[in-house]
Structure 1
Amino acid sequence: MKNNSSIFSAGTRVTRILFLFSFCFLSLYTYAINASKYAQEKTLTVKVQNKTVKEVLDYIEKNSEFIFFYYNKAIDTKRSVSMHVKDKTITTILDRLFEGTDVQYEIKDRQISLKKGSVQQRPQDKKQQKRKLTGKVVDEETNEPLVGVSIVAVEENRGIITGIDGSFSIEVYNNTKLQFSYIGYKKQILLIENQPILNVRMQPDNAMLNEVVVVGYGSQKKGNLTGSISSVKSEDLTVAPIATVSNSLAGRLPGLIATQSSGQPGSNSAALNIRGFGNALVIVDGIEASLDNIDANQIESVSILKDGAASIYGARAGNGVILVTTKRGINQKPIITLNSTFTWQGATSMLKPASAGQRAEMEREKHLQAGLPESSAPFTEEAVQKYYDGTDPLYPNTDWYKVLIRDWAPEQQHNISVRGGSEKIKYYGFFGYLNQQTMIKKNGGKYERFNFQSNVDAKILDNLTLQIDLGYTQEQRDYTTRDMSPGLNNMWQDYWNTLPYYPASLPDPNKVSYAYGAGTGGLHVSSNRELSGYSDTKNEDLRGTASLEYKFKAVKGLSLKIFESYRKVNMFGKTFTKPVQLYTYEPNSDTYTLAGTSGGNKATLSQSVVQESTFTQQYSLNYDNHFKDHHLTAMALLECIDYSSNTLLAGRKDFMTTAIDQMFAGSAVGMTNNGYASEMGRMSVVGRINYSYMDKYLLETILRADASAKFPPGKRWGYFPSVSLGWVISKEKFMSGIDFIDNLKLRLSYGQSGNDGVGNFQYLSGYSYGHAYLFGDESMQGISPTGLANPNLTWEKIKISNVGIDFSFFDRKLYGEMDAFYRERTGIPGNRLASLPSTFGAGLPPENLNSLNDRGFEIKLGTSGQWNELLYDISGNISWSRAKWKYLEEAELTDPDQARIYLKSGKWTDRVFGYVSDGLFTSQEEIMEAPHYEALNGNATLRPGDIRYKDLNDDGIINWKDQTDIGKGTTPHWMYGFNVALAYKGFDLSALFQGAFGYNQLVASNQLSTLLYEERWTSINNNSNALFARLGGSSSNSWQSDFASKKAGYLRLKVASLGYNLPKHLIEKCKLSNVRLYLSGTNLLTFNKLGKYGIDPEAPNVGCYYPQQRTISLGVNVSF
């Protein structure tokens, strides 16, 4: 049996990880100490024109071993400079670079510290005369003249604008500072000395426009996007350590619905739903993969394709696409980063079982209020009081929560990465480790994950590049034999069924106390892997890709790319169930009585092996070229994907001993085995053209053709086009005088995609094994048809239209985006309602019958800037979506009430029908005057404390006709998020608030909790507004109504982090470039509309579940 010791103990694997961290750190530390005299001997050549100080410093770092340390707010790194020095030492270069400024520098070996000092200005003749300065302003990339550029003399607050050819003429003093500004370009402040002519090259400058966003099969500048695409960077995902990437996305991207239904380690990911469409396709580095077995620290960016932009992925993209890009190497000296975090996780909200006295009182109350006789009551009044007193050893009061559940379970996460390279080869390596313990105090299981990533980019020739990526993830889930996932008949149901009337332990430590547990013996048995056995799974996910790109020299901009990927997933499962004998104890006679056995009489073992593989091939021809004001890119791609899987199952029982948990040790009598395999393929042809004129008028067209083997030969191909347009209004000449507008862009898109999410080969007739039949003396195996084949079954079609606008005002003091969409799905598979005689032997096949549509909108607003030394970025987003059936194959109903309640065509897909409650009955008189409850044959069984329903049609009868729309489904219609990021000197603070509303949640409690005890109706309080109806009440209390299905909504502090970067002058002595200490947390505060019911707002509406978790983390990040 595996030892499930604390993760903070000196375990072998953790020791090896820490040793690796220490070895890498000491190796680099030793290397750094050996540096000497480098600054005196190294010479450089620097030739730049109108470049920023930051660009010059970056150039020096890339072409030497120097590293600069400085505080961004103290050094004007955006100042534009021009200089030409050849074979000079670093001191000469820095003297020239910072001449006439207040910047001072200090060189220690290869490290250079920049800081603010006293201003050393050139003496100026105050009697000097103005002189004429002429010049021209052009775009740095296209060399085209810029019309209407604002040129201002800073000290005099006067200015001019450039003419139609970009030229200007202005009167200036020597040593005057001129500011050049233009919409969509980087501002420049230049010091004018004695030059008579000044030509200025302006750089496009808009953080949003220049940001590169990953799109389908490539990337684009955000300023050129025409589709509805949202993205988030690595620094946002890692602001706090979160075990699963899906949870770190919640609230950050407009249109993305993230709902976490469980807090179970290893199974606590959020379900991601784009615009309410359903589960989205996840692409990691070009291949379909899982999002939640990746470490967030590996990720460079995440993009979601929400509209026609997703059409480029065709059949798999009907619900949108999530694109994940991992980090890659960069052209600079290696940077090694270590990150270690220790976390404590506890339930956000968790009901506690009632005490022995409370439970006994409620059991007795429930019995009597059901009209059953006193003589058969489970507890007498005397016994109830003894449980409350707790003095009689025959009447124990065990607090199972305190015995079995820990308020804070430990978690730890460590990773190390290296990133660097040269012009010829770039590399990125990553290794990560995660360990999460469950809430169970003793042998309750854990989740471990190991991540490895290696990305290499090699420039073989000037026009030939090779990219090789290798990723590996290993997950180990060590659980109990009782399932922890949401539902019934799981470990959390044992939590409620374990009775407090029994002791947690017995005087004889070799015997286990019986505590009922609905046949499991109690949670102390089913949650203990050492006692009752274990259910372990090991998953291995290996991903390898190779990409070769050749750029044709004969045709400018033309390239050929070959991409091949192989993904292999191995899943090994092993469940070993051990029998446990359970005893009761009589202290007066000191005797033990065998009360039952959990897990059967003998141990059982089941094992499974599942192997899945995906082979992806992509061959693409790409073109990218500029023709003066025209920019054209095109892609033609062929993609082939092959899927295969193999499954093998085996089991034995009647083990003679629990000491050997191997298959051979079980009995061969009654052993089981099974296995199956499947194969599937998909071929696609993709074409895309992007065109822009002056980066002002934008066009993208996509056509994808998919072939799926799920359909008959004549129906296999589906064709999915899309087109999108963009108009950058802010670049129009009529906008040149509106200085406060940085960017303003209108987007329109329309696209089609498909869905082949049906069973395999339903166009073929199939059979399954049935009963055996006796023919004479011989037994023959019977078979039966699986159903009729449909040779016309084909693709479901999805069409989506989107209109959006992007904007940025006042140097991003206000920025945002808005989108509205409409989506229509047609040809959704369904079965006709026509009936066939039972003698036919088969049912009707699926057909492309049904249709529905979705609509919604998204808004994102933000502001960013600097106030003195405080940097800030504040943003918020909100989205709404809902779906409606256009047509659904259903029975024809002529009764208007039946049609209103049961027919769905033309109605919202997530309507919830039920009765409208009007409090609780408080007297028999109210019951006598109430409408007639038809299903109860009158009101004879109603009692005070039962739910009173409204007679909506005023016919004096409460029946199904009084049901109405009482709410919505469990998926929120409204999602919103609000993010604040602040930085002041060495401190950084971030907080993400996330919430949802427009959905319903069940609040009825069938569990005997302390909350139920305190908030139930009783004859003593006779509260008509009690949260819970009387115990043992009428069957009408369980009818679906707004008494149990409530309109829900919440706002929670999803993520908060406070960090501090140690001063450079302290860490540079240890040859470190950055050290950040941080305190963070998740789900720290929750404002829940239904909080009084004691449940988390993301809790599932089915059965019992592992509670959502609140976390508090301490961590350190070190770079060198």
Structure 2
Amino acid sequence: MKSIIRKKKWNILVQLLFCGILPQYLYAQQSYASNDVQVLQKSFQSNVDKSGMLNLKDILPQLSTRYHLHFVYDDAAIQGVLVPKIVLQEPAGMVIASLTKLLKNKGLKLSVFGNQQYGIIKESTAYATSKTKVMLSDQIHVTGTVKDKLGNPLIGVTVRVKGKDAGTVTDDNGGFVLDADSADTLEISFVGYLTQSIIVGNRTNISITLLINKSTLNEVVVVGYGTQNKKDITGSISSIGGKQLTTAPVASTANALAGRLPGLISLQSSGQPGFDAASLNIRGFGSPLVIVDGVESNFNLLDPDEIESVSILKDGAASIYGARAGNGVILVTTKRGVTGKPEVTLNASYSLQGVTATPRPASAGEYAEWERETWLNAGKPEATAPFTEEQVQEYFKGGNPLFPNTNWYNVLFRNWAPEQQYNLSVRGGSDRIKYYGFVGYLDQQTMVKLNGGDYKRYNIQSNIDAKILDNLSLQLNFSSVYETRDFPWRGYVAGANTVWQDFWNTLPIYPASLPDLTKISFANGGGTGGAHVVTNSAISGYDNTISQNLQGTIRLNYSFNSIKGLSAKLFANVSQDYDNGKEFQRPVQFYTYDPQSKIYTLAGALGSNASLSQSADNDRTLTGDFSLNYDNVFGQNHHLSAMVLYEAIDYNTNSLSAARINFLSPAVDQMFAGSTAGMTNNGSATEMGRKSYVGRINYSYKDKYLAELIFRADASAKFPPDKRWGYFPSASLGWRLSDEPFLKNTTFLDNLMIKMSYGESGLDNVGNFQYLTGYAFGLTYILNNNIEQGIASTGLANPGLTWEKVKIYNIGIDYSLFNQKLYGTGDVFYRILSGIPATLITSLPASFGANLPPENINSQDNRGFEFTIGTRGAVRKFSWDVSGNISWSRAKWIHYEEPSYTDPDQKRIFQKSGRWIDETFGYVADGLFTSQKEIDNLSFDQDGAKNSTLRPGDIRYADVPGGDTLNWRDQVEIGKGTVPHWMFGFNINLKYGAFDLSTLMQGAFGFFDNLQLVHGQLPPAIAYNLRWTESNNNPHALIPRLGGAATNSLFSTYDYKSASYLRVKTFSLGYNLPNHLLQNIKLEAVRFYIAGYNLLTFSGLNKYQVDPEAPSGNAGYYYPQQRTISFGVNVKF
């Protein structure tokens, strides 16, 4: 067929040439930038007449190059034809329409004879009735108008010939002109309206009315155990499409949600590969339940490319999950097959990861001066100072092997670590069977040069939908996630005994390596010798983990033909987790080296023999439910749907571990090579289960008044039989005001709905079987001088413990205006959590011999609000969707079991009942003393020694009235905790022609960080540079006087800083190849993009080189957050 078309085009051209209609033709080859209008205009200045017109013959070659068009014409036909200068400023989609209109007024006709190929002929020529008809025999010159339902013209509507490059956009009057074959289909599309397809036939004039697209209201949103139309949701549910999660590659899916959904609090406290997921918190409640395709799952095991949609249930709507939903629910659906030919998609990206912010270590000279200054300021004798002034200067000079200056950051870390992601998916199907398959690979490497730390993940997903009978359908899901983590044996977790401890305790006065490379440099002056800064995993050992999650799901849906709207569903899932860990420690010896004598001295060792420990854990969860569903419309106004469901979940865990020491050789890392003397082993297993009954009824009248009732009963084996059941009801109402007569006829209002809800849910976050008396095994005792095994009681039985109970109230509004060009939501909520386990404050006799068990006695409440607003639309080739969201929440203790305070200051500072949960008390710092006179004039005793220990450079605390000596009573509220109260996000999605741009600005404020820059022996360079000294007598220096007064360590506003921030969280700029190129390479779509994650951060902590999401008080002993720059391509075959 294609060869016939090509032959036809050549025959047409040959006929035209031989008949003399087109003695010559021009094909523009000179290249100009597509938007360089000024250059084009400048080149035509000599041909512009006084009226601002241009010679048509002069501009055609330029238009050819600029818009990739081909023109053929008779010189004589266009000789002297002038066109307005404005034609050069037309967008690509309007050029042909404008030329057609202009040429028609000149007695000329612009006709299409191929892909982007046009001929200019005289309408009156005799050739038009003979030879030209051969060329245009199956082309129709189509004109038309596009209007809305009120008859208003729509400007910038895209009108294209389906399956071809031919197309245009409507002008200011809603009109369009193009040429098409009679068999062609015109596709008319515009943002906010339903797309229409019209077969041309023999029509030359077409009038089209576009209807408003209410798909955003009719959009199906996943709710508990089912779906609902977005417009019918009466609870507080926010949702997002999977496409928005893939604007920039991220290793952890949780990180892609930050800032995108109102009410979702996100904090990413680490950048460690495989453990860099943000913690998610709905409205400040706590960690939510995550359900993926109907099964409780780990959200971060998913690849963002697998996800179809994400919904979060924030109010009573979560009650349908009962005991597990007290902190809200995140519902995730993965992609499924669609009817149509197979669609194969490849997404490949290569990323570079670098730290967002982290302090750099001090140099050898800076460290030596820091240590000497600390010593002398503490009043210690100079004769025993760790460094003399001459040594300090030698370290600063450098170049002397006796005084090394090692930059341990450069030794240990690389500036950029690579990350690769490759995802391949296929989806398609028929009316009877649909399929979706996904394979993903992630390789996230560490910023640490030595000792490993890389993370790899392999994802496989297969979803099949089959229609077995007309009233029986089947879904089969299978997924596998395989992870490998290769870490050093001391690990990367935040805190001590890690690589970070080694780094901040490794001193620049030691060399990174010794002349004898078989000997390890003693790099920190301590017992660990900086093991993981000067060695690698092959020398010191490793801690590797292999994990796998396997899931299989079957779902049957049967519709009863005898009862309209009645169906039954059967669901079953098995989820199996495997974790295998292997930690092997090799002994390491550290040496010092004297360059003068060339003698090596053994200075320390870490371990004397190799040791190995291995673990194997496997968890299995079985989930099954059966439901009856009813959905029917009575008359025209009453819509009723209902569900009853029974669910059972069974949890089983098994754990096995073993360890040996004293290996004959550190080269053999297998258990058999270790000594049986001192070997250990352990194993355990647990069982737990729950069952539930669920009911839901939805009713709507005229789609205007809506109601939903939910009831769930949960039984948990954690509690005694008489307290095992929890009952969790929920109710919500919705009123669509926009359908009321007094608003229905407004032209600007699309949807306005007020909704309110009340719901109850629960939590069972307690240990298993506490209502029984238990015993601890594996204890040892010395009896008759012999070591004997024994057991001991685990404490008193606790038969009174039961559920924590949640009650939540919510009022909300949904709205959209101006054909959905403006849209938004708003919610206000109040939540009470009661029955929080705590131990009763009471006195017990010493002879009692046990502690009281916890009871359900504490309670707290939480309140807040959240709002979103957005706008979407299009003007010609430019379209946008811009939205913002902001939320606030804060919790207060209603009752907190505590001593009864009678002292007013104790009550003010320590009492929790009736107070905000995150109130933080400390001392108010008033800068640093800059002179002895300030200390002498102090009106109170700050150090408890009549200020005799204070010196210039020490912290000065504010004079709090009511006392002569600074003490605990002088503490006041100085902050509001380390979890943000305010979260916000600003999403921008723009598209112009083949280009698209997406960015997310995300931020938080209303929280604080206890800024502790100095960890271990080595201070950061910024602490050295910004410390107080006599020459830097700055009352607001970052670090007070080294070796200063003991009062400098008091918790105060000097270190407690606001951590509020604004980030450019994601950024993506893409280019989509045009259709005419895709047709040549046999591809459906190709998009190239450059993207970034955590690109820019604006925060008051920037000046301290600390990321605002760093763990509070731990700016050094943790793996810093990462900034990522990615390059990628999406290909659809």
In the TM superposition, residue 568 of structure 1 has moved relative to its aligned partner by: 0.1
One-letter identity of the residue aligned with 1:278: G
Once the two structures are superposed, residues 987-1023 of structure 1 have per-residue CA deviations (whole angstroms, 9 ceiling, x without a partner) of 1011100000000102132241110111100111111
One-letter identity of the residue aligned with 1:1049: S
Does residue 610 in structure 1 map to residue 617 in structure 2?
yes
Other structure's SS at 1:901 match: helix
1:502, 1:248 → 2: CA distance? Answer: 42
Equivalent positions of 1:547-558 (< 5 A) are 547-558=555-566
Bigger drift between 200-209 and 1024-1033 goes to 200-209
For 2:1118, the equivalent position in structure 1 comes to 1105
1:513, 1:777 → 2: CA distance? Answer: 45
Q: TM-score, normalised by structure 1?
A: 0.83
Other structure's SS at 1:545 match: strand
Q: Determine if contact 2:266/2:278 at 8 Å carries over to the other structure.
A: yes
For 1:263, the equivalent position in structure 2 comes to 271
Q: Please point out which of 1082, 1100, 1106 is paired with 1:1095.
A: 1106
For 2:732, the equivalent position in structure 1 comes to 724
Does residue 825 in structure 1 map to residue 833 in structure 2?
yes
For 2:1051, the equivalent position in structure 1 comes to 1040
2:352, 2:176 → 1: CA distance? Answer: 58
2:639, 2:547 → 1: CA distance? Answer: 46
In structure 2, the CA distance between the partners of 1:775 and 1:609, relative to structure 1 (3 Å rule), is closer
For 2:281, the equivalent position in structure 1 comes to 273
Other structure's SS at 2:1008 match: strand
1:984, 1:761 → 2: CA distance? Answer: 61
One-letter identity of the residue aligned with 1:671: M
For 1:50, the equivalent position in structure 2 comes to none
For 1:1002, the equivalent position in structure 2 comes to 1010
One-letter identity of the residue aligned with 2:1104: Y
For 2:847, the equivalent position in structure 1 comes to 839
Does residue 120 in structure 1 map to residue 131 in structure 2?
no
Q: Please point out which of 657, 662, 665 is paired with 2:665.
A: 657
In the TM superposition, residue 402 of structure 1 has moved relative to its aligned partner by: 1.3
One-letter identity of the residue aligned with 2:1097: T
Q: Please point out which of 520, 533, 536 is paired with 1:528.
A: 536
Equivalent positions of 1:198-237 (< 5 A) are 205-237=213-245
2:669, 2:201 → 1: CA distance? Answer: 85
Q: Please point out which of 456, 474, 478 is paired with 2:482.
A: 474
Other structure's SS at 1:261 match: coil
1:776, 1:378 → 2: CA distance? Answer: 52
Q: Determine if contact 2:273/2:453 at 8 Å carries over to the other structure.
A: no
Does residue 857 in structure 1 map to residue 865 in structure 2?
yes
Q: 5+ residue gaps in structure 2? A: 9-90, 95-109, 118-137, 156-174, 178-187
In the TM superposition, residue 489 of structure 1 has moved relative to its aligned partner by: 2.6
In the TM superposition, residue 443 of structure 1 has moved relative to its aligned partner by: 4.0
Equivalent positions of 1:647-796 (< 5 A) are 647-769=655-777, 781-796=789-804
In the TM superposition, residue 774 of structure 1 has moved relative to its aligned partner by: 6.6
In the TM superposition, residue 737 of structure 1 has moved relative to its aligned partner by: 2.7
Other structure's SS at 1:812 match: coil
Does residue 545 in structure 1 map to residue 560 in structure 2?
no
Does residue 619 in structure 1 map to residue 626 in structure 2?
yes
2:626, 2:382 → 1: CA distance? Answer: 80
Q: Determine if contact 2:450/2:533 at 8 Å carries over to the other structure.
A: no
Q: Determine if contact 1:950/1:958 at 8 Å carries over to the other structure.
A: no
Q: Determine if contact 1:526/1:532 at 8 Å carries over to the other structure.
A: no
Once the two structures are superposed, residues 577-619 of structure 1 have per-residue CA deviations (whole angstroms, 9 ceiling, x without a partner) of 1111111111111111111112x01111111111101000010
Other structure's SS at 1:388 match: helix
Other structure's SS at 1:213 match: strand
For 2:1066, the equivalent position in structure 1 comes to 1055
2:92, 2:229 → 1: CA distance? Answer: 30
2:475, 2:892 → 1: CA distance? Answer: 46
In the TM superposition, residue 414 of structure 1 has moved relative to its aligned partner by: 0.4
In the TM superposition, residue 1101 of structure 1 has moved relative to its aligned partner by: 1.5
Does residue 499 in structure 1 map to residue 507 in structure 2?
yes
Equivalent positions of 1:275-314 (< 5 A) are 275-314=283-322
Other structure's SS at 2:881 match: strand
Other structure's SS at 1:120 match: strand
Other structure's SS at 1:1069 match: helix
Q: Please point out which of 1079, 1082, 1094 is paired with 2:1090.
A: 1079
One-letter identity of the residue aligned with 1:731: D
In structure 2, the CA distance between the partners of 1:104 and 1:521, relative to structure 1 (3 Å rule), is farther
2:914, 2:535 → 1: CA distance? Answer: 48
Q: Determine if contact 2:882/2:988 at 8 Å carries over to the other structure.
A: yes
Once the two structures are superposed, residues 367-408 of structure 1 have per-residue CA deviations (whole angstroms, 9 ceiling, x without a partner) of 111111111100000000000011321001011111221000
In the TM superposition, residue 260 of structure 1 has moved relative to its aligned partner by: 0.4
1:102, 1:190 → 2: CA distance? Answer: 21
In the TM superposition, residue 673 of structure 1 has moved relative to its aligned partner by: 0.9
In the TM superposition, residue 191 of structure 1 has moved relative to its aligned partner by: 13
In the TM superposition, residue 943 of structure 1 has moved relative to its aligned partner by: 1.4
1:905, 1:202 → 2: CA distance? Answer: 60
One-letter identity of the residue aligned with 2:349: T
1:1000, 1:605 → 2: CA distance? Answer: 42
Once the two structures are superposed, residues 228-285 of structure 1 have per-residue CA deviations (whole angstroms, 9 ceiling, x without a partner) of 1111111110111101110000000000011000000000000000001110111111
Q: Determine if contact 1:652/1:668 at 8 Å carries over to the other structure.
A: yes
2:303, 2:152 → 1: CA distance? Answer: 51
In structure 2, the CA distance between the partners of 1:252 and 1:779, relative to structure 1 (3 Å rule), is closer
In structure 2, the CA distance between the partners of 1:33 and 1:150, relative to structure 1 (3 Å rule), is closer
Q: Determine if contact 1:550/1:560 at 8 Å carries over to the other structure.
A: yes
In the TM superposition, residue 805 of structure 1 has moved relative to its aligned partner by: 0.4
RMSD (Å) for aligned C-alpha atoms: 3.2
1:402, 1:784 → 2: CA distance? Answer: 52
1:348, 1:720 → 2: CA distance? Answer: 44
In the TM superposition, residue 1082 of structure 1 has moved relative to its aligned partner by: 0.6
Equivalent positions of 1:633-652 (< 5 A) are 633-652=641-660
One-letter identity of the residue aligned with 1:221: N
For 1:447, the equivalent position in structure 2 comes to 455
Q: Determine if contact 1:212/1:221 at 8 Å carries over to the other structure.
A: yes
Q: Determine if contact 2:581/2:616 at 8 Å carries over to the other structure.
A: yes
1:419, 1:837 → 2: CA distance? Answer: 70
1:444, 1:334 → 2: CA distance? Answer: 41
One-letter identity of the residue aligned with 2:1123: R
Once the two structures are superposed, residues 638-693 of structure 1 have per-residue CA deviations (whole angstroms, 9 ceiling, x without a partner) of 00000010111111111121211000001111111111111100101000011111
Equivalent positions of 1:884-899 (< 5 A) are 884-899=892-907
1:122, 1:342 → 2: CA distance? Answer: 47
One-letter identity of the residue aligned with 1:1066: L
1:997, 1:327 → 2: CA distance? Answer: 35
Q: 5+ residue gaps in structure 1? A: 1-31, 40-72, 77-100, 109-116, 125-148, 157-174
In structure 2, the CA distance between the partners of 1:518 and 1:747, relative to structure 1 (3 Å rule), is farther
Q: Please point out which of 558, 580, 583 is paired with 1:575.
A: 583
In structure 2, the CA distance between the partners of 1:154 and 1:536, relative to structure 1 (3 Å rule), is closer
Other structure's SS at 2:1042 match: coil
For 1:339, the equivalent position in structure 2 comes to 347
Q: Please point out which of 1012, 1015, 1022 is paired with 1:1011.
A: 1022
Once the two structures are superposed, residues 738-788 of structure 1 have per-residue CA deviations (whole angstroms, 9 ceiling, x without a partner) of 111111111101100011111111111122258656777987655432222
2:418, 2:331 → 1: CA distance? Answer: 32
2:144, 2:337 → 1: CA distance? Answer: 47
In the TM superposition, residue 1063 of structure 1 has moved relative to its aligned partner by: 1.3
Bigger drift between 328-337 and 935-944 goes to 935-944
In the TM superposition, residue 194 of structure 1 has moved relative to its aligned partner by: 15
Q: Determine if contact 2:553/2:573 at 8 Å carries over to the other structure.
A: yes
In structure 2, the CA distance between the partners of 1:118 and 1:822, relative to structure 1 (3 Å rule), is farther
Q: Determine if contact 1:1004/1:1028 at 8 Å carries over to the other structure.
A: no
In the TM superposition, residue 120 of structure 1 has moved relative to its aligned partner by: 2.5
In structure 2, the CA distance between the partners of 1:690 and 1:155, relative to structure 1 (3 Å rule), is closer
